């Protein structure tokens, strides 16, 4: 059993340790806890909004479902090209995930390309080299003229309305192609725009909502 002098000494040592250790602990907690919380929130948001990427075969089947006039071989070629070229662009852009962070790097000049409209421009250019006969290619934009504006390539059967099409979005998962029906996308309300060289998108008046 400790005598009063020993108890007093023990209490003094405990107080000393608390005074040394607790302030740095609370400082670290104060600074890093919000960072962990915000990082976790961002991760939840990013994963919660993500759509399934499927496979080239799944996309080809969906493209064939647009119309009986679709050539199955052309649908397969289109799907395989869209998937493989999106991954190739990710390498060329030297993509850093998530996509929003890569946008920051582009805007700071650390990366040269990789904004959503650049993915759409380059994927459109590649698909044009296939000289597709079964499909019309459109540009889809969501949240036009806002800080959340987003671009995609939209494919329809020849002569089909824009809102019947399928949006191809290579930006959303940093090169892992996301595709979704224009009217089925839970994250982006697509509208059709006309893209002119060196000009911002202009609405055509046809909505994908």
* pLDDT tens digits in sequence order for the chain, 209 residues long: 545 444 444 454 444 434 444 444 334 333 434 433 334 334 434 433 444 468 999 999 999 999 999 999 999 999 999 999 999 999 999 999 999 999 999 999 999 999 999 999 999 999 999 999 999 999 999 999 999 999 999 999 999 999 999 999 999 999 999 999 999 999 999 999 998 765 545 554 333 33
Q: Is residue 145 within 8 Å of residue 22, measured between CB atoms?
A: no
* Contact of 163 with 185, CB cutoff 8 Å: no
Cα–Cα distance between 97 and 151 in angstroms, integer?
18
> What are the tokens at 106?
């582009």
Is the peptide bond between 134 and the residue preceding it cis, with omega within 30 degrees of 0?
no
Q: What are the beta bridge partners of residue 142?
A: 150, 190
């Amino acid at each position: 059993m400790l005598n009063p002098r020993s108890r007093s000494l023990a209490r003094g040592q405990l107080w000393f340790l608390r005074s040394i250790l607790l302030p740095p602990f609370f400082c670290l907690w104060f600074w890093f806890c919000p960072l962990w919380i915000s990082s976790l929130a961002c991760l939840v948001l990013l994963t919660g909004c993500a759509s399934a990427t499927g496979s080239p075969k799944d996309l080809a089947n969906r493209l064939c479902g647009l119309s009986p006039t679709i050539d199955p071989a052309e649908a397969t070629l289109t799907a395989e090209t869209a998937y493989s070229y999106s991954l190739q662009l990710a390498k060329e852009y030297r993509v850093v995930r998530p996509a929003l962070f890569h946008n920051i790097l582009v805007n700071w000049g650390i990366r040269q390309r990789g904004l959503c409209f650049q993915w759409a421009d380059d994927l459109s250019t590649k698909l044009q080299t296939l000289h597709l006969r079964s499909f019309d290619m459109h540009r889809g934009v969501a949240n036009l003229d806002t800080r959340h504006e987003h671009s995609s390539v939209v494919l329809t059967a020849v002569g089909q309305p824009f809102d019947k099409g399928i949006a191809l979005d290579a930006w959303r998962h940093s090169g892992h192609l996301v595709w979704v029906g224009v009217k089925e996308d839970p994250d982006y309300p697509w509208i059709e725009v006309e893209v002119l060289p060196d000009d911002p998108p202009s609405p055509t008046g046809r909505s994908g909502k």
